[in-house]
Amino acid sequence: MAASDQPDARPIGVFDSGIGGLTVVSALRRLLPNESIYYLGDTARLPYGGKSPATVQRYSLEIAALLLEQNAKTIVVACNTASALALPLLRETIPVAVTGMIAPGAQAATAATRNGHIGVIGTRATIKSGAYERALREQNAEVRVTARACPLLVPLIEEGWLESEITDKILMQYLQPLLDDGVDTLVLGCTHYPLLRPAISRLLGRAITLVDAAENCAAELRHLLEREGMNAPPEQMGQLQVALTDPPDSFLQIANEALQLEVGEIQLRQL
Amino acid sequence: MAASDQPDARPIGVFDSGIGGLTVVSALRRLLPNESIYYLGDTARLPYGGKSPATVQRYSLEIAALLLEQNAKTIVVACNTASALALPLLRETIPVAVTGMIAPGAQAATAATRNGHIGVIGTRATIKSGAYERALREQNAEVRVTARACPLLVPLIEEGWLESEITDKILMQYLQPLLDDGVDTLVLGCTHYPLLRPAISRLLGRAITLVDAAENCAAELRHLLEREGMNAPPEQMGQLQVALTDPPDSFLQIANEALQLEVGEIQLRQL
């Protein structure tokens, strides 16, 4: 039962350090086609993955304020690093509900694992924060977690080398220790990584289940909108507005092609 | 003949997007041991190499203002991307002399080449700007230039993979077309790249001369200080103060070890 009888046409605010978060937008569009989305990619200051908690928190608060100015009814932190470092602070500070990537990813992983041993890959900052370990243990205190920072994967994806011998070698350099350790499930703990999913699947084979939080994040948001009675009008055609803090480069085309999102004119916003 | 009889104890202001510019500080310390240096690395917003001219110019002006507050007598842009995109604007705006990386690198390269065919590697933004081509042709209108953006090299260096099979493969992926094209001289057009010099030398052999602008930049600065009568007092022991916009991570240790700089306590400055 909705908390209000009026549908809520306001957009969902989504942000990421760059445009990796468009993998989450893609899942939101499929699951919630009536919802409008205002996406902010902080391309002028990306990447966040090697930066300190204080800096990532400051940036996240600035962006959340901008999304509220855009009349966002709720905010999705479509960036694992910002979710890992800034979610509690955002929830204390922002007057709308905030959904992150970590809890949805942890739920999907604990549901998928058979041997209770889960691998997590992410940026340096995400892994260092221990946020995935905490979220996984909240789901299941018995779970074993092996986490590994993979700082070269984002630049590799932005270079567009999604399938190459070098990519395979870098992936195996990062993933072999997790395999040796016996994980049966691997969380792709960065919103860029789904673009490497074909290569990772090919290298790891079917014995390892890959978990990407985007679908679960979209499902969590759908529950939230229903619970709070904030769904868009059923007749609404959801719009997608993308804003970036620095003009887009070639990666936007890579993301467009890989995600088949219709990204129209891009706004520039200075932060 | 110096323009003034008084020595000038004020520091030289040096900046980079991160700590790659410490390769330039290292050259300055060797050539100008009496000079104090105030170094600002914009680690909260790095890297600059994939960002737009407008954003890199805005960041460069903000940092130059901070260095002037620190009483800098002159400014060195120890970042090829900022030199390529922001040097003319800085020179119009800032009331002290500004030295960049591009002209010193171009001078060293035109002096080194025997067949008149020079390769340049750098960030996407540096290469796209065409700044090296222009500077090389100003030195010698007959020179042939082959330029290539190498966006994976900075993250590779920051990951600390200075010598590895993967590094060799990435380097050859980027450099083979320049070799095939017949360059006999290669400009390392990013202040991070000297940390890969051993690997690049080993791969390219002695037929290719590697040019790194740091030494030439230091030499140009020495001329400037002498010409303007701005040398430090001869009895002064030059101090090095490093400030960053985000707390340092493991890369500082890599740079310290590779460059043998004595970096003491690091200031944090918010921009």
Rounded CA gap, B31 and A65, in Å?
48
Residue B256 has pLDDT above 80, yes or no: no
The answer to whether A239 and A37 are in contact (CB under 8 A) is yes
Taking CA atoms, A175 is separated from A25, A119, A140, B78, in Å, by 27, 9, 23, 36
- Residue B199 has a CB neighbour count (10 Å cut-off) of 18
Q: A206: buried, middle or exposed (CB in 10 Å: 19+, 13-18, 0-12)?
A: exposed
Residues of A with Cβ-Cβ distance to B249 under 8 angstroms: 50, 124
| Nearest partner of B47 among A180, A14, A46, judged by Cα | A46
* Angle at the Cα of A225 from the Cα atoms of A193 and A99, rounded to 5 degrees: 40
Rounded CA gap, A110 and A105, in Å?
9
Residues of A with Cβ-Cβ distance to B163 under 8 angstroms: none
Taking CA atoms, B159 is separated from B37, B40, B198, B249, in Å, by 27, 21, 16, 11
- Higher pLDDT pick, B248 / A68: A68
Best probe of the B interface among A126, A170, A268, by most B CBs < 10 A, is A170
| Nearest partner of A218 among A57, A3, A25, A52, judged by Cα | A25
Cβ of residue B253 closer than 8 Å to a chain A Cβ: no
Q: Which residues of A are catalytic?
A: 79, 190
**Inter-chain CB pairs, A–B, below 8 Å:** 55
Residues of B with Cβ-Cβ distance to A246 under 8 angstroms: 51-52, 55
- pLDDT at residue B2 in the model: 44
Residues of A with Cβ-Cβ distance to B192 under 8 angstroms: none
The number of residues in chain B equals: 271
**The one-letter amino acid at B120:** V
How many helices and strands (H and E) does chain A possess? 11, 10
Q: Which residues of B are catalytic?
A: 79, 190
Q: Answer whether A151 sits within 8 Å of B173, measured CB to CB.
A: no
Rounded CA gap, B133 and A141, in Å?
60
Q: Answer whether A44 sits within 8 Å of B51, measured CB to CB.
A: yes
Q: Answer whether B44 sits within 8 Å of A51, measured CB to CB.
A: yes
| A69 membership: H or E segment, kind and range | helix A53-69
Q: What is the CA radius of gyration of chain B?
A: 18
- Higher pLDDT pick, A98 / B207: A98
Fold of A102-213: Rossmann fold (3.40.50)
Residue B219 has pLDDT above 90, yes or no: yes
Say which of A43, A51, A159 has its CB closest to residue B246: A51
Residue B170 has pLDDT above 50, yes or no: yes
Quick one: CATH architecture of B12-100+215-230+240-268?
Answer: 3-Layer(aba) Sandwich (3.40)
Say which of B43, B51, B247 has its CB closest to residue A246: B51
- Residue A30 has a CB neighbour count (10 Å cut-off) of 11
Residue B121 tokens, joined: 């590697």
Angle between helices A102-112 and A213-227 (to 10 degrees): 110
Residues 6+ apart with CB under 8 A from A222: A31, A32
Q: Answer whether B166 sits within 8 Å of A156, measured CB to CB.
A: no
Residues of A with Cβ-Cβ distance to B165 under 8 angstroms: 169
Q: What is the CA radius of gyration of chain A?
A: 18
Rounded CA gap, A24 and B89, in Å?
39
In the block, residue with structure tokens 């000297």: B194
Taking CA atoms, B45 is separated from A50, A101, A250, B92, in Å, by 10, 23, 20, 24
pLDDT tens profile B56-115: 999 999 999 999 999 999 999 999 999 999 999 999 999 999 999 999 999 999 999 999
Q: Answer whether B166 sits within 8 Å of A165, measured CB to CB.
A: no
- pLDDT at residue A4 in the model: 57
- Residue B62 has a CB neighbour count (10 Å cut-off) of 14
Residues 6+ apart with CB under 8 A from B180: none
- Residue A160 has a CB neighbour count (10 Å cut-off) of 16
Say which of A159, A173, A245 has its CB closest to residue B152: A159
Q: A64: buried, middle or exposed (CB in 10 Å: 19+, 13-18, 0-12)?
A: buried
Residues of A with Cβ-Cβ distance to B247 under 8 angstroms: 52, 54
Distance, in angstroms, between A114 CA and closest chain B CA? 33
Sheet holding A266-268, edge to edge: A98-99, A74-77, A12-16, A37-41, A240-244, A266-268
Q: What is the CATH number of domain A12-100+215-268?
A: 3.40.50.1860
| B240 membership: H or E segment, kind and range | strand B240-244
- pLDDT at residue A198 in the model: 95
Assess whether the region B12-100+215-230+240-268 and the region B102-213 belong to the same CATH fold: yes
Residues of A with Cβ-Cβ distance to B154 under 8 angstroms: 155
Cβ of residue B148 closer than 8 Å to a chain A Cβ: no
For chain A (271 residues), the mean pLDDT of every run of 10, in chain order, is 73 95 94 97 95 97 98 98 98 98 97 98 97 97 97 92 96 97 97 94 95 93 96 95 87 72 85 88
Best probe of the A interface among B42, B52, B268, by most A CBs < 10 A, is B52
- What residue ranges do the domains of chain A occupy? 12-100+215-268, 102-213
Sheet holding B74-77, edge to edge: B98-99, B74-77, B12-16, B37-41, B240-244, B266-268
Nearest CA in chain B to A42: B45
Residues 6+ apart with CB under 8 A from A246: A43, A44, A268, B51, B52, B55
Cβ of residue A43 closer than 8 Å to a chain B Cβ: yes
Cβ of residue B50 closer than 8 Å to a chain A Cβ: yes
The answer to whether A57 and A79 are in contact (CB under 8 A) is no
Cβ of residue B155 closer than 8 Å to a chain A Cβ: yes
The answer to whether A100 and A83 are in contact (CB under 8 A) is yes
* Dihedral over Cα of A85, A88, A94, A95: its sign: positive
Say which of A50, A156, A159 has its CB closest to residue B249: A50
Taking CA atoms, A87 is separated from A100, A131, A132, A235, in Å, by 7, 10, 13, 32
In the block, residue with structure tokens 């992983």: A109
Assembly ipTM: 0.90
Best probe of the A interface among B56, B62, B152, by most A CBs < 10 A, is B152
- pLDDT at residue B1 in the model: 42
